[in-house]
């Protein structure tokens, strides 16, 4: 199981990083609404194709904790909350933040997500995080901030205050989505496609309306842009979303959020290798190292918690409690 989680974690980081590189390289000049709606709609379409091709199989449990309780369909409230926070809300707020405050400052705000999710997860579970995990997560967040800080000069947008507030809203929107999705699906171990398809299908509706407003205002969309959006949505976002939500259920929201800190350094290194950006400076290299050290520590603790012995001890504690 640890090897599976490790492979899933590496795959998620690589997939998320590739989306930034491909979109940034191939969709320059495309409208933000068109890009946001296009990749979400195509991702939902890809999930729908997977659902059609998949055979119905009973969910299987990887451990011996007993039969899996098949969750009921989402209620209207649950679906609206998940689609509104994780898809439409996060996309709209993060886009507003970038437009008003520039691209770098919102990234700095969003880098705080792992610490925020860790605290919220602990409050909801009524179990405080261990001091080593808290320190390692904080170190990883500080490292991410050090990587971003050198890029702040000259990147401010027309309304920094509102942009930062929007970035904070986007951070809490995604945090709420991660925690709520993990809670609603906490007993689910079956295929992930039917659990996330309704969320992305509904969440794409406001984004499609946004794209329609852009097109009506004169924003052009080339066939090459549509083809690239289809490729990114189906070939990259679909597996990324499937892996991301599987990790959400198996390792928790805080762990999943922490993995996102590895994406900016990887994107920076890839962009430098492709000639799209300058190579990281000394402070950024220090930040990358600090982030990686903190992440490795948290990941090692997470793997230790998932060993068979640790799992048996946790089940024994629950039964005795």
Report pLDDT digits (tens) over 262-317.
887 887 777 777 676 677 788 888 988 999 899 888 888 777 765 544 444 444 44
What is the model's pTM? 0.83
Better pLDDT: 268 or 233: 233
Residue 62 has a pLDDT of 45
pLDDT at 220: 79
Q: How far is Cα 286 from Cα 276, in angstroms, rounded to an integer?
A: 21
Helices 238-251, 2-26: axis angle to 10 degrees equals 140
Residue 83 has pLDDT above 70, yes or no: yes
Between CA 256 and CA 45 the distance in angstroms is 24
**Mean pLDDT over all residues of the chain?**
82
Quick one: what percent of the chain has pLDDT higher than 70? 82
Region of 275 on the Ramachandran plot (φ > 0 left; ψ -120 to 50 alpha; else beta): left
Backbone torsions φ then ψ of 218, nearest 5 degrees? 110, 0
**Alpha carbons 308 and 64: distance in angstroms, whole number:** 10
Residue 117 near residue 253 (C-beta atoms within 8 A)? yes
3-11: long-range contacts, CB 8 A cutoff, minimum separation 24:
5/247, 5/250, 5/251, 5/302, 5/303, 5/306, 6/299, 6/303, 8/243, 8/246, 8/247, 8/250, 9/247, 9/259, 9/299, 11/239, 11/243
Residue 254 clears pLDDT 50, i.e. is over it: yes
Measured distance CA(321)–CA(318) in Å, rounded: 5
What is the C-alpha separation between 267 and 276, in angstroms, rounded?
A: 10
pLDDT value, residue 235 = 92
């Amino acid at each position: 199981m640890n090897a599976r989680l490790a492979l899933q974690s590496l795959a998620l980081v690589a997939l998320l990083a590739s989306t930034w590189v491909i979109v940034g390289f191939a969709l320059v000049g495309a409208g933000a609404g068109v890009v946001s709606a296009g990749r979400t709609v195509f991702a939902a379409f890809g999930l729908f194709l997977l659902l059609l091709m998949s055979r119905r199989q009973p969910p299987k449990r990887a451990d011996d904790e007993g039969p899996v309780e098949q969750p009921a369909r989402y209620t209207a409230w649950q679906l609206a909350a998940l689609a509104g926070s994780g898809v439409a809300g996060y996309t709209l707020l993060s886009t507003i933040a970038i437009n008003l405050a520039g691209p770098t400052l919102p990234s700095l705000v969003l880098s705080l997500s792992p610490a925020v999710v860790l605290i919220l997860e602990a409050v909801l579970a009524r179990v405080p995080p261990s001091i080593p995990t808290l320190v390692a997560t904080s170190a990883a967040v500080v490292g991410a901030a050090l990587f971003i800080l050198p890029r702040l000069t000259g990147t401010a947008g027309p309304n920094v205050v509102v942009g930062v507030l929007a970035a904070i809203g986007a951070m809490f929107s995604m945090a709420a989505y991660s925690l709520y999705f993990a809670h609603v699906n906490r007993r689910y171990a079956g295929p992930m496609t039917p659990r996330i398809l309704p969320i992305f299908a509904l969440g794409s509706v406001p984004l499609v309306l946004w794209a329609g407003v852009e097109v009506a205002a004169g924003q052009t969309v080339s066939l090459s842009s549509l083809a690239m959006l289809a490729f990114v949505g189906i070939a990259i976002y679909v597996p990324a979303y499937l892996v991301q939500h599987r990790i959400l259920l198996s390792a928790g929201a805080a762990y999943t959020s922490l993995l996102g800190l590895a994406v900016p350094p990887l994107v920076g290194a890839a962009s430098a290798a492709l000639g799209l950006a300058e190579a990281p400076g000394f402070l950024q290299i220090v930040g990358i190292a600090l982030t990686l050290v903190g992440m490795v520590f948290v990941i090692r603790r997470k793997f230790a918690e998932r060993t068979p012995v640790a799992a048996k001890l946790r089940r024994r504690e629950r039964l005795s409690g």
